[in-house]
Amino acid sequence: MPIPWVEKYRPKSFSEIVNQEEAKQILASWICTRFKAPQEFCARWAKRRDKEIKEARAVLLWGPPGIGKTTLVHALAKEIGYELVELNASDVRTGERIRQVVGRGLREASLFGYAGKIVLFDEVDGLHVKEDLGGLEAILNLIETAKVPIVLTANNPFDPKLRPLRDISLVVGLKRLSEDEVVEVLKRICASEGAKCEEEALRSLAKSSYGDLRAAINDLQLYLAGRKVLTVDDIKRAGERNPQLSMFEILDRVYKARWFDEARAVSFNPSFDWEQYFVWALETIPIVYKDLEVMSEAFDRLSKADMFIGIVKRTQEWELLSYAMELALGGVSQVKNKPRLPPFIRYGFPQRLLLLAKSKEARRRREMVVEYLARNLHVSKGLVNAEIFYVLSALAKKDDHVVERLARALGISPIDIKNLL
């Protein structure tokens, strides 16, 4: 198992951390005024004299994922020679666990030559108010009483449940990294791995990571697994296997398909949303098939597909959905006396707002799954869409376990997950 590059290339000092200059200065100024820290470090970084920095009992670093919140605290501990005691949401399910880990950690004299201890509570927004009330209270209590620096991180510090933590801490926002900054880091990694990476390819990874450097580095490692070259074509190909199609492209593929299977294959695309497709098909059939006979045949198939969907919804027999898809895609595409279609068809936008609202819900759910996977696998949503969704769909077909676990994690019914995948 290769070492994850996000760990291999995790910055060890403040100066290796890209951007985040303000956060570095605030953190250093806080440590240098309230705790013991090497003079050299303080002279270089502790430039702020604000009252609230001096008075803060704890620091809450916040910002989107993968921009250096945790790394900043790791690097700080190294810079000042402190031992880092790290806890995450699952460690603090009960106050007891905090008292065990931190209480002992703080009392123990430092056996390993550290100058002190710094406590990091990662991802405090992962705490649940109900189940983790004890955890939240224990963190608050620790901040009020402990004599050691305590840093918290969160993606969303404005979550109401974090109010008490926010009130007692100095809240410091970190910046999303720019595309150029992400590209620079990726370039350095390519060089140090001895890999030849096209700039455009790295730019494309940076773009799809939306400033989440962790996701970009993870994507790069996956793309470079077992090879030393990365071209923009490699990335395009991965995208092409499952490109994100707009509804216009989906309709174009269906109407212009030469064979039944070609039209049917559209449903395997991750961006295919059958509820939305029905709305669009209903309104575009008369635009594409002007001849009455042809039009009525296409409508006939769409309506039969709709009947199947009705049965599926009533009986929850989701296996029947594939018959509906055959009729709605292959059936609508392969009609008798199909006319020659022009290269460009103006499909127009359907007016069925009510139905569209429904498909919005389906897209929201799909987005939830994508976000969940991206967050937990620490990769970009782009990679989830291009690669992982595809693999999971294949797995889900074979193994109900995959579906059940995802369903549990997301609080969506297994049937919905199956359908989404």
Ligand X SMILES: Nc1ncnc2c1ncn2[C@@H]1O[C@H](COP(=O)(O)OP(=O)(O)OP(=O)(O)O)[C@@H](O)[C@H]1O
In the complex, the residues that contact ligand X under the rule CB under 6 A are 6, 9-11, 17-20, 65-71, 123, 153, 155, 185, 213-214, 217
Between 6 and 321, whose beta carbon lies closer to ligand X? Answer: 6
Closest separation in Å from C-beta 57 to ligand X: 21
Closest separation in Å from C-beta 162 to ligand X: 14
DSSP 3-state of 269:
coil
Q: Cα dihedral angle (51, 54, 56, 60), rounded to 10 degrees? A: 100
Tokens of 143: 């901040």
Between 324 and 374, whose beta carbon lies closer to ligand X? Answer: 374
Closest separation in Å from C-beta 161 to ligand X: 17
Asked whether the beta carbons of 70 and 151 are under 8 A apart, the reply is: no
Which residues are documented as binding site for ATP? 63-70
| Half-sphere exposure (Cβ direction) of 13: Cα atoms closer than 13 Å | 6
Between 69 and 301, whose beta carbon lies closer to ligand X? Answer: 69
Between 213 and 250, whose beta carbon lies closer to ligand X? Answer: 213
Between 251 and 374, whose beta carbon lies closer to ligand X? Answer: 374
- Between the alpha carbon of residue 342 and those of residues 73, 255, 289, the distances in Å are 60, 11, 11
Q: Show the CA angle centred on residue 371, arms to residues 197 and 64, nearest 5°.
A: 75
Closest separation in Å from C-beta 101 to ligand X: 19
Closest separation in Å from C-beta 188 to ligand X: 10
Asked whether the beta carbons of 206 and 183 are under 8 A apart, the reply is: yes
DSSP 3-state of 120:
strand
Closest separation in Å from C-beta 66 to ligand X: 5
Task: Determine the residue with CB nearest ligand X.
Answer: 68
Q: What single DSSP character describes residue 245?
A: -
Between 33 and 88, whose beta carbon lies closer to ligand X? Answer: 88
Between 153 and 284, whose beta carbon lies closer to ligand X? Answer: 153
Distance CA 338, CA 355 (A): 28
Between 177 and 250, whose beta carbon lies closer to ligand X? Answer: 177
Cα end-to-end distance, the chain, whole Å: 28
| Half-sphere exposure (Cβ direction) of 98: Cα atoms closer than 13 Å | 25
Closest separation in Å from C-beta 67 to ligand X: 4
DSSP 3-state of 18:
coil
Asked whether the beta carbons of 345 and 254 are under 8 A apart, the reply is: no
- Helices (H), ranges, 35-172: 39-45, 51-55, 69-80, 95-98, 104-107, 133-145, 163-168
Q: Show the CA angle centred on residue 365, arms to residues 359 and 366, nearest 5°.
A: 90
- Backbone dihedral angles phi then psi of residue 269, each to the nearest 5 degrees: -70, 135
Closest separation in Å from C-beta 219 to ligand X: 12
